[in-house]
Amino acid sequence: MDRNQQLFDRARRVIPGGVNSPVRAFRAVGGTPRFVQRAEGAYFWDAEGRRHIDYIGSWGPMILGHGHPAVLEAVQRAARDGFSFGAPTEREIELAEAICAAMPNLEMVRLVSSGTEAAMSALRLARGATGRNKLVKFEGCYHGHADALLVKAGSGLATFGHPTSAGVPADVVKDTIVLEYNNAAQLEEAFTQHGHDIAALVIEPIAGNMNFVRAGTAFMKLARDLCTRHGAMLVFDEVMTGFRVGFDGAQAHYAKLIPGFRPDLTVLGKVIGGGMPLAAFGGPRATMEQLAPLGPVYQAGTLSGNPVATACGLATLKEIAKPGFYESLAARTRSLMDGLAGAANAAGVPFTADSEGGMFGFFLLPQLPRNYGEVMKTDGAKFNALFHGLLDRGVYIAPALYEAGFVSAAHSEQDIAETVAAAAEIFKTLA
C-alpha cells in the first residue's frame, strides 16, 4: 500500500478526519493527502519519496522557498538561546519596528500566534474603541475560526448571518452582517440600516479564500467612505496579502488608486512568521493604546512574540526587503499564469487567471469572478481532474478550487515550464 495511504489510515484513528486543518484532507478533490517528509526550495517530498513542485508554500508563508539558508541559520541560532520565555525579548521590538517601517499605516503592532487570533483581537479592539457591537464581513472571505466570523449570508440585503458551524450559538453571530463581495448596493444598504451600530467592516482586499478575487477600486473606496462617514473602523485582513503581494501589502496598492486611502486596523500573518506560528494586528497609536495593559481591551498569549518565531520572521523580512525581490517574484508568477492560460486556450478550455506579487489564482471560467457565488460556478469535476493530473505529474496546487496559490523566490523558470507542460497535457483531456 502507498505509504501516504498508510499514514492517512493511521492518522484517522487518532486525529479527526486524519488532519489538523480540514482542507488538508482532500475532501473537496478526493483521493489521499500527501504526507510531507521534507521540503527544500520550491519542492517537497512525500512519504513515498516523490518530489512535488509546491505552489502552496504552507499557504503563503514560504515566500523564499523552504529552508532558505539565512532563515534557517537565524532559527537555529535563536533555538539555541531558548524556545520560549514568557517574557519580552529585543527581537520582538525589532520585528515590530520592521513591520511598522514597511507599512506606514501601522504605528504600533501587537504580536500573536495565529491569523485567527489576530483577526479576533483586532475586531475586539474595534468594538472596544467604538463602543459598538455590529460587524460587517463578506461571503467568501475567511478571517479565522472565531465564533462571530463563522457565518454565512442571510436572505435579502444586509441581513444578519447564520452560523456555519455547529457549536456557534445564533446569539453570537446576531451582530454579524454578511454581504456579497464587490456588491456596492448591499454595502450601502447595510450602512443605511445599521451604520450607527457598526463597529467595523473587515475585508480581505484580495480574497484568497475564494481562490483569488480582488475588491474593485470603486467598491473599496465606498467601503472607506462609509466607514469614515459612520464612524466605523475599516479592518484590512492581510494575513495572506501582507508582504506577499508587495512589501507594503495590498493596502499600498489601493493607496495608489484612491488618494488618501488607509485602513484603520490591519491584520497580518503568514509571511511575517516565515513559516513559524506568528501573526500580528496593528494600527494608529491612539487605537492600539486601548489594549491592555494601557487600555480596557484585553488580549494576551503565552507564546505571543515567541523568540524562535520572531527570529524566523525577522530573517524572512530582511531577505524580501532586498532591491528587486518583488519585481522578480511578480514576473515569475505572471509567467506561470500566462503559461497556464496559453495551454488552456490552446486546448479550448475556459480559463482565466490573476496574480499580484507572489500570490495567484485561476478559474476554469471565461472571465474573472467578482464574488463567492461566481467562483462556485467553476466546473468542479474538471478542476478535480486538473488537480489530480498535476499531482500525478509532481505538481502540487491547492486541493480545492476556492484556495489561492503561491509562487516563491525559489521557483525556477524550469519549474514553471514543467508545470505548464504538465497542465497542457491535462487540458487536452478536459476540452
Q: Are 205 and 250 in contact (CB under 8 A)?
A: yes
Instruction: Provide the residue ranges of all domains of the chain, joining segments of one domain with +.
Output: 3-67+323-430, 69-320
Q: Distances from the Cα of 188 to the Cαs of 157, 224, 250, 309, 427, in angstroms?
A: 10, 12, 23, 41, 42
pLDDT for position 161: 59
Read out DSSP for 174-217? TTEEEEETT-HHHHHHHHHHHGGGEEEEEE-SEESSSSSEEPPH
Burial class (CB in 10 A: 0-12, 13-18, 19+), 319: middle
CA distance 407 to 333: 6
Alpha-carbon gap, residue 369 to 379, rounded angstroms: 13
* Dist CA 52 CA 40 (whole Å): 11
pLDDT single digits (tens) 29-71: 999 999 999 999 999 999 999 999 999 999 999 999 999 999 9
Residues classed as catalytic: 142, 237, 270
- 3-67+323-430: CATH homologous superfamily? Aspartate Aminotransferase, domain 1 (3.90.1150.10)
Strand ranges in 341-390 using DSSP code E only, listed in sequence order: 352-356, 359-363
Burial class for 21, CB neighbours closer than 10 Å (0-12, 13-18, 19+): exposed
Nine-digit cell string for 66: 523552504
Place of cell 499514514: 7
Mean pLDDT for 109-128 is 98
Asked if 388 contacts 31 with a C-beta cutoff of 8 angstroms, the reply is yes
CB 371 within 8 A of CB 219: no
d(CA 348, CA 124): 49
pLDDT at position 159: 44
**Mean pLDDT in the chain?**
95
CB 152 within 8 Å of CB 141: no
What is the per-residue pLDDT across 205-249, written as a single tens digit (0 to 9) for each? 999 999 999 999 999 999 999 999 999 999 999 999 999 999 999
Question: Given pLDDT bands bounded at 50, 70 and 90, which one contains residue 1?
Answer: confident
For the whole model, what pTM was predicted?
A: 0.95
Over 60: is that where the pLDDT of 155 sits?
no
Q: Name the H helices within 258-379.
A: 285-288, 307-320, 325-347, 372-375
Q: Give how far the C-alpha of residue 289 lies from the chain's centroid of Cα atoms, to the nearest Å.
A: 27
Q: Which CATH class is domain 69-320?
A: alpha beta
Please say whether the beta carbons of 114 and 327 come within 8 A: no
